[in-house]
């Protein structure tokens, strides 16, 4: 159990960041406009912006105020939101190799190829990141408040956290110190008294759903949850959590316990 949690926490993605053609200085060699990094699945893309902009920012034709404002990523021409954990975005937008589990293809290095863009006008679908790290933190905090409300019927538990506890919670994401994260997270959960499960589902047709899943029933499986949402799991319509294809008879409370993301929600991608 602990080992699994640790693996989820350390799960990573290989990402190639390329400067968008519209902002790159002409004739920049490939090595100067491309950056390869390992991004943690349980983190936010926006947290990597300063490092990326520091590396690639010398080769852009635009002037920029700071490494957050007016920057965004695109994958395959589609803007990538910053407010969801990286792993979920990757599973939803890209991950195709989960289909070939056990095959030789799996040995191939899987790379998430993102374009780094900059502009005064954000494309539709992107929440403007105007306030840098503070905005990321605020957003994350309110996601947790929402998750806490769903879990316990009120946001009391998170509101009554002391300031040092809350700061340690946020810092655990920055410094990647899992014990600190778990310590505070446990204060927000009440085992056996959970009211509802915070779960978000991204369906194949790109709808984003947040069903109300009561936790008081004896056992509720992933299959039950999907059935309640009129989603049929089959060969080409599978549930992916943390990059793994999940059996539909798994207990949803266990799944939440093991695989919930850093914003308090369990993300299920259907594809």
Partner 1 sequence: MNSGVLLSESETDTSEVSGRQSELISGDESIKGKLEEFSAKLNELRLADGNSDGGDEEESLSPDTKSQREESSENSENVSRSTSRPPLTSSIVSSVEREQLKSQVKVKIRLQPIGAIPQIQPRVCQISAHQQFLALTRFLCKRLKRKHIHCYINNAFAPSLDQNIGDLWTQFKVNDELIVSYCETVAFG
**Binding stretches for partner 1 (CB under 8 A):** 81, 83, 120-128, 130, 135, 138-139, 142-143, 145-146, 149-150, 154-155, 159, 196, 208-212, 230
Closer to partner 1 by Cβ: residue 185 or 196: 196
Closest approach of partner 1 to the CB of residue 147, in Å: 9
The answer to whether the Cα torsion of 112, 118, 123, 128 is positive or negative is positive
* Pairwise CA distance, residues 161 & 177, whole Å: 19
Closer to partner 1 by Cβ: residue 126 or 182: 126
Tell me which residue of 188, 175, 174, 165 sits closest to 137, measured CA to CA. Answer: 174
Closest approach of partner 1 to the CB of residue 154, in Å: 7
Closer to partner 1 by Cβ: residue 142 or 193: 142
* Pairwise CA distance, residues 45 & 53, whole Å: 12
Closer to partner 1 by Cβ: residue 168 or 229: 229
Closer to partner 1 by Cβ: residue 126 or 246: 126
Closest approach of partner 1 to the CB of residue 68, in Å: 13
Tell me which residue of 67, 92, 80 sits closest to 127, measured CA to CA. Answer: 80
Closest approach of partner 1 to the CB of residue 202, in Å: 11
DSSP 38: E
Tell me which residue of 197, 207, 203 sits closest to 240, measured CA to CA. Answer: 203
Closest approach of partner 1 to the CB of residue 138, in Å: 5
* Pairwise CA distance, residues 213 & 196, whole Å: 5
DSSP string computed for 106-128: GGSPPEEEEEEEE-SSPPTT---
């Amino acid at each position: 159990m602990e080992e699994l949690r640790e693996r989820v926490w350390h799960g990573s993605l290989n990402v190639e960041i390329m400067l968008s053609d519209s902002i790159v200085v002409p004739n920049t060699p490939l090595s100067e406009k491309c950056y390869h990094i390992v991004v943690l699945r349980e983190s936010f893309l926006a947290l990597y912006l300063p490092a990326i902009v520091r590396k690639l920012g010398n080769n852009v034709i635009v002037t920029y105020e700071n490494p957050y404002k007016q920057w965004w990523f695109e994958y395959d021409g589609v803007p990538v939101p910053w407010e969801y954990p990286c792993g979920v975005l990757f599973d939803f937008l890209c991950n195709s190799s989960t289909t070939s589990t056990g095959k030789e293809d799996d040995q191939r290095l899987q790379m998430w190829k993102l374009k780094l863009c900059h502009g005064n006008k954000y494309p539709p679908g992107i929440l403007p990141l105007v306030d840098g790290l503070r905005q990321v933190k605020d957003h994350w905090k309110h996601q947790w408040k929402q998750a806490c409300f769903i879990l316990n019927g009120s946001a009391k538990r998170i509101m009554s956290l002391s300031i040092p506890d809350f700061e340690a919670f946020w810092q655990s994401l920055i410094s990647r110190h899992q014990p600190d994260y778990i310590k505070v997270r446990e204060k927000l959960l009440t085992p056996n008294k959970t009211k509802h499960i915070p779960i978000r589902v991204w369906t194949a047709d790109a709808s984003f759903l947040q069903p109300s899943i009561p936790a008081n029933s004896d056992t509720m499986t992933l299959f039950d949850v999907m059935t309640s949402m009129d989603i049929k799991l089959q060969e080409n319509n599978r549930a992916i959590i943390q990059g793994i294809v999940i059996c539909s008879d798994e207990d949803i409370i266990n799944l939440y316990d093991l695989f919930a993301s850093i914003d308090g929600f369990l993300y299920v991608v259907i594809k």
